[in-house]
Amino acid sequence: MNLMEKIDKIKELRNCNAIKAILMCIVVLYHSMAVYMGNWGPYEPAKNSTFLMYIAKWFNTFHIYGFTLISGYIFYYIKYEGGGYKKYFPFIGKKAKRLIVPYIFIAAVWVIPVYAYFYGIEDIVNKFVLGTSPNQLWFLLMLFWVFAIFWLISDLTDRKPILGGIIVCGLYCLGVVAPSFYCLNSGLQYILFFYIGFMIRKLDLGNKILYKIPSLVYLLIDILLFIGIELIGSHEELIIKIVVLGLSVVLHIIGAVGAFVLLQRFVNRFLQENKVVGFFSKHSMVIYLVHQQLIYFSIGWFNGVVPPVVLVLINFIFSLTVSTIFSILMSKTKVTRFLVGSK
């Protein structure tokens, strides 16, 4: 199959669930090696690894941005092709069940107790009750804000995409200075990536533009930008900081779009009707909700006992396995599915 061959919109949409599952696995892998970035988790690495540090940093430039892009893509399909999401308050209620309920439940029974075990209780109110830095659960609050805000401008954006884009850019700038309570700042910034996904579906940008670009071009531009930002990012001059901020936005956009295109090609070629991917598509969100704290424990057990690459593999396999078992157990009843936001 020619990797620059068109992917029709039906296949493109169907591939999105598999892509979201892959991106969630990349998040777990990123957290499995994030200890080598420094200042992550309750432990410092017994042995540093520059290679793993940069791989983790690179993953962090596209994984959640790509996931948010796909959420915008699917939103357009449901609202404007499928006739859903017509009324705002029922829509918000549905998203609260899917995002806010699991935030409260997982924070209360898992994330806060583990945080208190490792760090004490001093910052719990600020981090979790006020939602300023609630570990991996920030993603739920961010995505809720994205849905809640973008719905309000979605009809305008559908009619006048350029005006919608200007508004979205304004919201991004507002997010840079907005308070971090309940991750409002992140929500305002991530609307940009949601908008890009929205426009990809609306205008069929995949077949018109994106799939005409070779995969290697996406990778080269992304990696060169990443290296450039790393080289100049430590400078303290104001102009350099502004340049780095702008380049970082470009890097996240290219990373998110590149992830969408490359994973569309990958899924389309290798993972059609793959049962393993289908399984993880069903459980990926709950896996995400609980995996990070499991990694804290595996680092504590094996840090300094095994080489860095082996520790990353242990972290990944252990956290993925245990969180998958948890997800399966929580899928057994209507009440537990409700608590973790599963359908």
Q: pLDDT per residue over 78-102, tens digit each?
A: 999 999 999 999 999 999 999 999 9
pLDDT attached to residue 38: 87
pLDDT attached to residue 9: 87
Percent of the chain residues topping a pLDDT of 90: 88
106-132 burial, b at 16+ Cβ within 10 Å, e below that, comes to bbeebbbebbeeeeeeeebeebbeebb
pLDDT class of 1 with cuts at 50, 70, 90: very low
Does residue 3 have a pLDDT over 80? no
pLDDT attached to residue 53: 96
Mean pLDDT of 11-27: 94
pLDDT class of 237 with cuts at 50, 70, 90: confident
Q: In which residue are the tokens 């804000």 written?
A: 145
Contacts of 42 (CB under 8 A, 6+ apart): 118, 119, 296, 300
For residue 309, what are the CA distances in angstroms to 17, 27, 29, 305, 313? Answer: 29, 17, 11, 12, 6
Does residue 230 have a pLDDT over 50? yes
Does residue 178 have a pLDDT over 80? yes
Mean pLDDT of 143-168: 97
Q: In which residue are the tokens 């990070």 written?
A: 292
Nearest CA-CA partner of 43 in 321, 287, 297: 297
pLDDT attached to residue 67: 96
pLDDT attached to residue 39: 87
pLDDT class of 166 with cuts at 50, 70, 90: very high
Mean pLDDT (the chain) is: 94
Nearest CA-CA partner of 67 in 195, 253, 256, 203: 256
For residue 103, what are the CA distances in angstroms to 29, 31, 42, 148? Answer: 22, 19, 22, 16
pLDDT attached to residue 95: 96
